Amino acid sequence: MIKIEVYQGGITQLELDALVNAANNRLWMGGGVAGALKRVGGKEIEDEAVKKGPIPVGEAVVTGAGKLETKYIIHAAVMGQDLKTDAEKIRQATRNSLLRGDELGIKSLAFPALGTGVGGFPLDECARIMISEVRQYSAEETGLNRVVFALFDQPACQVFKQELDKQLG
């Protein structure tokens, strides 16, 4: 069973096995979560990622983590060059990130709220989709035992906490 947690703060501060980047399908790291990961971890993360792209929207690839206190960055392509996303793309990107985590044999990873920054996807719907996907995945055989949703501000954190409470009933 995967333990699901909500954390308020920058994803780069977490010391887990992997951090998920909300990526575009070409894997360029511009602003938002990607920009923070590149700023703290170093440009080598983006250089390695871009060599693996482009990838289909909804897919996820793994790179090293540069100077970050983590082993891997999982780049979840939640949108294409049009910078638009939808519920199905977020669901697939979440699931494929979890699959990459299991392929790596890791125990813990952190997600940002995929698609809610540049992609403009509604935060409450994102929380519902992502938490539901992690819970469904948790019912399968997995080596993952901890998933943290890292949200930068208090309002976003509150939305994810409320959704988690609602789903856990």
Average of per-residue pLDDT across 109-118? 96
Radius of gyration of the chain (CA): 14
Say if CB 91 and CB 131 are below 8 A apart.
no
* Rounded Cα–Cα distance for residues 11 and 129 (Å): 20
Domains and CATH numbers, the chain: 3-168 (3.40.220.10)
Residue 55: name the closest of 103, 115, 96, 105 by CA.
96
Helix (H) or strand (E) holding 150, with range, is strand 146-151
81 falls in which pLDDT band (50, 70, 90)? confident
* pLDDT at res. 118: 87
* pLDDT at res. 49: 98
The answer on pLDDT for 83 being more than 90 is: no
Helix (H) or strand (E) holding 131, with range, is helix 123-138
Residue type, position 112, single letter: P
115 falls in which pLDDT band (50, 70, 90)? very high
Question: Full-prediction pTM beyond 0.95?
Answer: yes
The answer on pLDDT for 41 being more than 90 is: yes
* pLDDT at res. 57: 98
38 falls in which pLDDT band (50, 70, 90)? very high
Percent above pLDDT 90 for the chain: 95
* Rounded Cα–Cα distance for residues 149 and 131 (Å): 9
The answer on pLDDT for 169 being more than 90 is: no
DSSP string, 61-81: EEEE-TTSSSSEEEEEEEE-T
